[in-house]
Amino acid sequence: MWLGLLLLYSTMIHGQQSLNIIDLYSDIFLSKKARTILEKANVGDRLFHGRIGGVAFESVAIPSKTIENSKISLDFESDRFSITIDNQNIYPDIPDWQLIPTVLFVNSPYQVLFSSSGDTIGNQEAQCRYHPAFLNTLAGLRIFQVDLLNLPGLLWDLPKDDKGSYLLATSETPFTPVKKTAIEKTLYDVLSGNGRPFSSFVLTDKNANIGFDIQGRQIRFSGHPYYLFTKNEGDMEHVNILRKELEQTYADIENNAKIFLGSKYTSNLNPKTNLGGLLNVLKANRKDEVYNPYAMRNVISAISRLDSLNTLSDAQIGIKFAVLNQYSISFNENNWELLKEYNPPVYSAIENIAQWAAFFRYVKKTNPVNWSNFVEKISGRSVKDAPVIDTPTAYEINYFKLIDEQQKK
């Protein structure tokens, strides 16, 4: 019976999809809350890059001079999306699998589309979390893949389902991934050659100046999202001094608490793991301070030092956070089109989603009544032009596949 349950559980979290030598897991036992992220973008802030990162879009598109004073409205009738600019009707070429989640995303107050920094221990979150609009969608799967920039050797490929078929929408041009060695080497050299020049990156559209205009009977965009790279540097000598001071402070708290509490002290009151519990016990026995006044004073003094250490700024700790603006500009100017050539389905989709999201924010801002009516029409629709997807909640390298690939080489 237990073997059967184990096999059942493994089928629920394993093997639905794979990406080259990476296994993609989707744990259906995790709640929707654990698999989603509701966060605003704070690109350029150290805590945002360290705690969330991933993919975040926040831009409002800029109309061209020729239409900057035009009224723009949106509609969805008879299974067809349309835009009216003044008296001109436009029927954009955007598939439902991108349109629907992008509209729902823009209608929310949040700007983070994806993060692979879930707290899998403390908050029992999925490693990979998505804005609810992109959860279990092909668009979400494409967004997941652009966060794998640090694996250029796999970035060219597409995920497969459990039958070995590439996951593609009906609107996507039939595509068989082919590894382009020259592009892979270029990306590897700039990302990892001569030592990795960055600590983390985020795909963003902040200050990307996404613009739009009418050409013929279509909306044409300019500008695209880009990778912003950052770096953490630390004065390790100073950090180690602070670490030793922190260890000594915890030791002082514990030693003096043992003296004060005597036999009432237990291992469950270790200040490193249960400082709150220890403080409650000390408070409950405060009447005994008359017998050990110095021990209690030493505990209070050590806790004060601990509080001071916990409130040190990054500069005081010796950590420097830097946004690598010049490196980011150079990378994107030289490699964005190369990435679109390396993996057309992924990077064409992410560019499209970013541009349309910026455009929808413009309409939301300039014509809020029409926007609300449009969202109401979109909200009840389901995606029918893309395969059913369980977006990955986690992933890991399959070393059996890796060894097999190495043997083939």
Residue bearing the bigger pLDDT, 26 or 119: 26
Mean pLDDT, to the nearest integer, of 165-177? 87
What domain range includes position 176? 16-233+320-404
Residue with tokens 């969608």: 137
* Domain assignment present for 8: no
Mean pLDDT, to the nearest integer, of 78-93? 93
Listed range (141-150, 276-285, 348-357) with the worst mean pLDDT: 276-285
pLDDT of residue 288: 78
Give the domain-ending residue among 252, 283, 317: 317
pLDDT of residue 236: 74
Model pLDDT for residues 42-59, shown as the tens digit of each residue:
999 988 998 999 999 999
Exposed/middle/buried for residue 113 (C-beta within 10 Å: 0-12, 13-18, 19+): buried
Q: Which two tokens stand for residue 149?
A: 């920039």
Model pLDDT for residues 103-131, shown as the tens digit of each residue:
999 999 999 999 998 876 666 788 999 99
pTM: 0.78
3 state DSSP class of 121: coil
Shared domain for 54 and 150, answered yes or no, is yes
Q: Could you give the CA distance from residue 67 to residue 269 in angstroms, rounded to a whole number?
A: 68
Q: Report residue 307 CA to chain centroid gap.
A: 31
Shared domain for 58 and 156, answered yes or no, is yes
Residues 6+ apart with CB under 8 A from 41: 48, 56, 57, 58, 111, 112, 204, 206
pLDDT of residue 13: 42
Q: Which letter, b or e, does each residue of 162-196 get, where b requires 16 or more Cβ atoms within 10 Å of its Cβ?
A: eeeebbbbeebeeeebeeeeebbebbeebbeeeee
Q: Which two tokens stand for residue 260?
A: 């004060």
3 state DSSP class of 275: helix
Shared domain for 154 and 228, answered yes or no, is yes
Model pLDDT for residues 280-305, shown as the tens digit of each residue:
988 888 887 777 778 888 988 898 88
Q: Report residue 320: phi and psi, to 5°.
A: -115, 130
Shared domain for 389 and 270, answered yes or no, is no
Q: Could you give the CA distance from residue 297 to residue 401 in angstroms, rounded to a whole number?
A: 60
Residue bearing the bigger pLDDT, 408 or 143: 143
Asked if 281 contacts 261 with a C-beta cutoff of 8 angstroms, the reply is yes
Shared domain for 266 and 377, answered yes or no, is no
Shared domain for 150 and 266, answered yes or no, is no
Shared domain for 125 and 78, answered yes or no, is yes
3 state DSSP class of 83: strand
* Domain assignment present for 7: no
Per-residue pLDDT band at 9 (split at 50, 70, 90): very low
> Of 231, 152, 218, which is closest to residue 191 (Cα–Cα)?
152
Residue bearing the bigger pLDDT, 125 or 99: 99
Radius of gyration of the chain, Cα coordinates, nearest whole angstrom? 27
For 254-364, strand residue ranges (E) read: 319-323
Q: Could you give the CA distance from residue 36 to residue 101 in angstroms, rounded to a whole number?
A: 14
3 state DSSP class of 131: coil
